[in-house]
Amino acid sequence: MFNYEKNLGQAYTERLPDLGQTIARCIALFGGKRLYGVGGDFAANLIGALQPYLELCPSSNEMHAGFSACAQAETEGMGFCLTTYTVGSLPCVSAAALAMTESLPVVFISGAPGEQEVGKQAIHHTVHARAAWRTQYDNALQAFAALGIKAERLQGQRNDGQPNMAGERFLQLLHYAWQHRQPVFIEVPRDQVFSKTQALQLPDSPAQLGCGSQLLAGSELIAGEIRRRLSQAKRPVLFIGDGVKHNPRLRELLLEFSQKHHIPFATSWFAKGLFDEFDALCLGAYNGVFSDNLSRDYIEQHADYVIDVASSIYAQDTNTAFATGSHFIEDFANKTVLKGTALQEQDLVELFEHLLCMTLPVFENTLPVRANTSGPLANTEKLDFHNLAPALNQLQQQDSNPYLYLPEVGNSYFASYSLKTRLGGAGRGWLTNPWYGAMGTTLPYARHCAKLVQEQGLDERVVVITGDGGLHFQSNELIEIQKDRTGIIIIYMRNNIFHLGKSGDGPIYHCNDPAFDIHKLIAAYGGESAHCRTVGEFNQVFKDYAQQNKGLKLIEVPADPDEQYQCREIRLLNLYIKAKNGDADALEKWQKTSTQQGAGIN
C-alpha cells in the first residue's frame, strides 16, 4: 500500500509529530503557557494532547473562558481558549466579538467531530432540529465568520503520500492573529489530534516569522514637518490612543520622546492604564468635558500644538466625549494626526525613531501642580461613587505597590476614569473592555491577572470594582478564583438597582434583593469580607487586604443612587442624556457646563 513512509522515507516519517504536539508547540511559540476552557467530548483528545505541555485552566463557563483569554491577550500578547464543539464554542461568540472590537489576538480552539463521523447522520451538539432535512456541521464556523473573524476547520490527510498539513495551517492562523491583532476560530476534528502532521521548524520568536516589511515611504518627511511645527510651538502635547496597547516598543519610544523634550502626554479614555499616571509629564486620560480638571485645563487652555498618535481610524463616540462636541483635540486645528496604518504600527515606530535622532526643542515644563483643593477626605465622610476614586488615589499615593484596577461596565467603569494609576510589572494599571462594553468580564479578567501576578511574583494588587448587577452576572467564576488560591480584592458597590442608562425603576432594573447576604457567599468561597460605610472604615480595611494580598477579599459599600453621590462622569453623562431628550433645565445646565473649558462641574 502506498503511504507517506514509502513516499518520503522512514527517517522523515519517524520525525513526524502528532498534530496535538504541534498545536502545543505553536501555542508556546506565541508565549502561551495556559489555555482557559471547559471540557467536553469533542475536546477530550485535545485536552489529552495538550495537558503534558500547557496549563489547562478550567473556567466556570465557556463565555468566562473566552473573557479570561481576552485578559490574557491584553497582558501577555496572545490569549487562548479551548471548548467543545458548537455547544461549547457558541457561548464564546460574545467574547470573540469583544476581542474583535478591542483588537485582541485571541485564539478560540474548539474540538469537532472526526472526519469519519461526518455524513448523513446528525451529530449531537449540532444545531439540528428534528424536522431538518439536511445535516449542519458548520454553524459555529459561520457564527464566528459572521463577526468578520477568520474561522477554519483543520483538515486531515488528503493524499496517501503526504502527511496532513494541519499543523502548518494552525501555525499560519496563529500568526495571522498575532500580526493583525484579531481573534481567530479554529475547529480541530477529534480524529486528527493524534494523527501525524508535517514537521515544522519553528523560530525562537513570532517576530522571526515576519510581519511584512515597512513599505510606507516618507517617514523622514513627516518627521521634518513635526520638527517645523515643534519649532513654532511653546506648549505641545502628545495625545496617545489605544493603538499602542500591543506595541511595547512604540510605547517606549513615545515615553522617551516625551521625556527627552519635556512634552506632556495624555491618553484617550481607551488607552487608560497603559502608562504610569504618576509620571511628572502625564496628564492622565483626556475626554473633553468628561476629563478631570488638570488635563482638560492644560489641553484646552494652554496647548498650542498636538501630536495625535494611534487613535482610532473612525471616531468612536465614547472616546470622543460621547459626541458632545466638547472633545477639544478632535477639532483642534494645529495638530499632526498619526493613525498608524502599517502592520503592527511599523510606520509609527519608524517615525519616532527618526524624531529621536533629530535635534528638536526641549520645552520648559509648565504643568501645574495637581492640587487637591478639598484636602484629604474626612474619615467620617460617607463613601460612595462620588468619592471612591479620591479615596483610592490617596491610598495608592501612600502605597508603592501598584493597584491593577478592573472596573465593571456601568457606574464602576465611569467612576474609574478619575483613578490615578501606577504601572507595575503586569504593564497595565487599568483593564476593562471600554469600547465593546460587555458586562460580566471583570472576574474572568481579574482571575487571569491574579494568576499572572502570582506566577511572576509581581507587586500588583488586583482590584475589582463592581455593582450588584455586575457581580451577580459572573459570580460563578468565584469558584475558579478559590481554586487558584490567588489574591483579589473586590469593591462591591451595593445599590440593589441599576441607576445608569435606564428609563425608569421597573422590575427589570432591580439587580439585587435587599435580603441578599454577600458575606455568606464570599465565606462559602473561602473568602473574607467587610461592610464599610465611611472613608475611614474603607481605608482601614483596604489597607489590611492590600497588605495581605492573599485570597478572595470583598468590601461591601452601600451606594446611594441619589445624584449627589454619583461620580462626576456619571452626573455629566446623565445630564447630557436628559438634555438630548429635551429637558429644558438640563439643556441650560449642559450648555453652561460644556462651554466652561477646563472648569467641569462640581
Mean pLDDT of the region 479-498: 94
State mean pLDDT over 234-263.
96
Mapped onto helix, strand or coil, the DSSP state of residue 112 is: strand
Architecture of domain 219-356: 3-Layer(aba) Sandwich (3.40)
**What's the whole-number mean pLDDT along residues 373-389?**
89
Rg (CA), the chain: 26
Task: Count other C-beta atoms under 10 Å from residue 56's C-beta.
Answer: 16
Nearest to 449 by CA among 93, 31, 69, 98: 69
Taking the C-alpha atoms of residue 599 and residue 567, their distance in angstroms, rounded to an integer, is: 16
Query: What span, in angstroms and rounded, lies between the C-alpha atoms of 493 and 487?
Result: 19
Beta strand 184-189 with 236-240 is: unpaired
Per-residue confidence at 599, pLDDT binned at 50, 70, 90? very low
**Residue-wise pLDDT tens digits, 87-126:** 999 999 999 999 999 999 999 999 999 888 887 777 778 7
* Distance in angstroms (rounded) separating the CA atoms of residues 380 and 215: 61
Instruction: Check: CB of residue 588 under 8 Å from CB of residue 523.
Output: no
Rounded mean pLDDT, 155-168: 83
**CA 334 to CA 453: how far, in whole Å?**
43
Tell me the percentage of the chain whose pLDDT exceeds 70.
95
Average pLDDT over every residue of 174-198:
95
Provide the β-strand partners of residue 164: 197
Residue 224's pLDDT is 94
pLDDT at 601 exceeding the cut of 50: no
pLDDT (average), residues 275-296: 90
d(CA 391, CA 291): 18
Question: Per-residue confidence at 597, pLDDT binned at 50, 70, 90?
Answer: low
Q: In the chain, what are the domain boundaries?
A: 4-209, 219-356, 385-566
- pLDDT higher than threshold 70 for residue 504: no
* Parallel, antiparallel or unpaired: strands 305-309 and 282-285: unpaired
Q: How far apart are CA 417 and CA 272, in angstroms?
A: 8
Whether pLDDT at 29 is above 90: yes
Per the listing, cell 500644538 goes with: 305
Q: What is the DSSP letter of 17?
A: P
**pLDDT tens profile 297-335:** 899 999 999 999 999 888 888 888 888 888 999 989 999
What per-residue confidence (pLDDT) applies to 502?
60
Residue 602 clears pLDDT 50, i.e. is over it? no
pLDDT digits (tens, 9 = 90+) for 252-267: 999 999 999 999 999 9
Please, what is the average pLDDT of the chain? 91
Place of cell 449642559: 590
CA 253 to chain centre: 22
Strands (E), 257-359: 265-267, 282-285, 305-309, 335-338
How many angstroms separate the CA atoms of 602 and 598, rounded? Answer: 12
pLDDT digits (tens, 9 = 90+) for 438-461: 889 999 999 999 999 999 999 999
Average pLDDT of the residues in 478-490? 97
The DSSP secondary-structure symbol of 514 reads T
pLDDT for residue 325? 86
From CA 179, how far away is CA 486, in angstroms rounded? Answer: 32
CB 244 within 8 A of CB 352: no
- Classify domain 4-209 by CATH architecture: 3-Layer(aba) Sandwich (3.40)
Give the Cα separation of 510 and 502 in Å (integer).
11
pLDDT of residue 372: 53
Domains 4-209 and 219-356 in one fold: yes
Residue 302 pLDDT: 92
Give the least confident one: 66-70, 158-162, 183-187, 353-357: 158-162
Amino acid 156: pLDDT = 84
Residue 188: DSSP 8-state? E
By mean pLDDT, which of 45-59, 154-168, 278-292, 507-521 is the weakest? 154-168
Nearest to 326 by CA among 550, 591, 139, 580: 591
Q: What is the mean pLDDT of residues 538-560?
A: 97
DSSP 8-state assignment for residue 383 = P
Q: What confidence score (pLDDT) does residue 600 get?
A: 37
What are the helix and strand counts (H, E) for the chain?
Answer: 21, 16
Which of residues 598 and 12 earns the better pLDDT score? 12
Mean pLDDT of 163-184: 95
The pLDDT value given to residue 1: 44
pLDDT of residue 484: 97
More confident residue, 213 or 99: 99
| CATH class, range 385-566 | alpha beta
Residue type, 402: P
Place of cell 508565549: 31
Cell numbers representing residue 50 in the block: 495538550
Grid coordinates belonging to 408? 465593571
User: What's the mean pLDDT in 515-541?
Assistant: 97
Residue 270 reports pLDDT greater than 50? yes
Report the C-alpha gap between 246 and 310 in whole angstroms: 11
Over range 379-389, report the average pLDDT. Answer: 96
Looking at residue 250, its amino acid is L
